[in-house]
Amino acid sequence: MATLQQPTLQRLIKETRIFLNQQEASNSFWSDEELTMYLNDAVAMYYQEVLERAEGQFDKQVDLDLVSGVDLVALPTDCYEIKCLYKSTGNSFTILSYRNNLTESYENSQTTSSSTYFPSYEFRANNIVLRPAPGFSETAGLRLEYTAFPDTMVWGGDVMTSGVAPVFKELIILYAVYKAKIKESLTIGSGSFAPVQQLLDSAYNRFKDSVGFRSKNPTFVLPFNP
């Protein structure tokens, strides 16, 4: 029995066109480029919803280098937000604290030992700022766990990002159909999108109900006892 696979962009467009009943791009109110834009908008909507659950669908891990005397470390270009930043020490990873307090002074005395260097960090543009800067260079001295932006699908063979579970393919397609029908209604004043909205609302509600905790492992919380 085959498992669900991530659909290609061509497949998503084909199924979107089946809903719209205009299967030939050469004789259609909507171009393939336009439908691609709507499908990417649907992925962005999905992304915002799952981001609230913080269940790792779009998370990545990368090791970053330390350079002596340099307090800036570039973030990955696809970084949306940091989950954790660790200092690597042998086989151990110590979590670093995020401190963005503009009312405090800081000292930039540079620690020359990797084993005792545990800076705090803040952000400047798309960089991590280390306080203090390291007094040594170290390959993979930091380990970053972060949430990435979803990949944008481009016409020509792309596959839907793995952050979107293929079981929710219908939601992505229905959102694209919904936006296409709105455009049709605004442009030529015809084409009801109410039935599509009803289908979309139903699919979206099912999605929200099932996208919660990915792990079914029980979580035990000790009672507060001061």
Nearest to 96 by CA among 53, 44, 132, 54: 132
Question: Are residue 195 and residue 156 in the same domain, yes or no?
Answer: yes
* 87-145: pLDDT as tens digits: 999 889 999 999 987 777 877 777 888 889 999 999 999 999 999 999 999 999 999 99
Q: Is residue 216 a part of any domain in this protein? A: no
Percent of the chain with pLDDT over 70: 93
Question: Are residue 109 and residue 35 in the same domain, yes or no?
Answer: no
Counted domains in the chain: 2
Q: Is residue 1 a part of any domain in this protein? A: no
**In the structure, what pLDDT confidence band is assigned to residue 41 with cuts at 50, 70 and 90?**
very high
Q: Look at residue 29 in the predicted model and tell me its pLDDT.
A: 92
Q: Look at residue 220 in the predicted model and tell me its pLDDT.
A: 64
Question: Are residue 142 and residue 155 in the same domain, yes or no?
Answer: no
3-state secondary structure of 8: strand
Question: Are residue 142 and residue 63 in the same domain, yes or no?
Answer: yes
CA dist 187 → 17, 181, 184 (Å): 18, 10, 5
Mean pLDDT of the chain: 89
* 54-73: pLDDT as tens digits: 678 899 999 999 999 999 99
Q: Is residue 162 a part of any domain in this protein? A: yes
Q: Is residue 142 a part of any domain in this protein? A: yes
Question: Are residue 155 and residue 144 in the same domain, yes or no?
Answer: no
Q: Are 132 and 107 in contact (CB under 8 A)?
A: yes
Task: Please give the residue range of the domain that contains residue 106.
Answer: 59-148
The residue among 148, 181, 200 that closes a domain is 148
Question: Are residue 117 and residue 189 in the same domain, yes or no?
Answer: no
Please give the backbone phi and psi of residue 50, each rounded to the nearest 5 degrees, phi first. -70, -25
Q: Look at residue 226 in the predicted model and tell me its pLDDT.
A: 57
Higher pLDDT, 212 or 52: 52
Question: Are residue 26 and residue 134 in the same domain, yes or no?
Answer: no
Q: Look at residue 225 in the predicted model and tell me its pLDDT.
A: 65
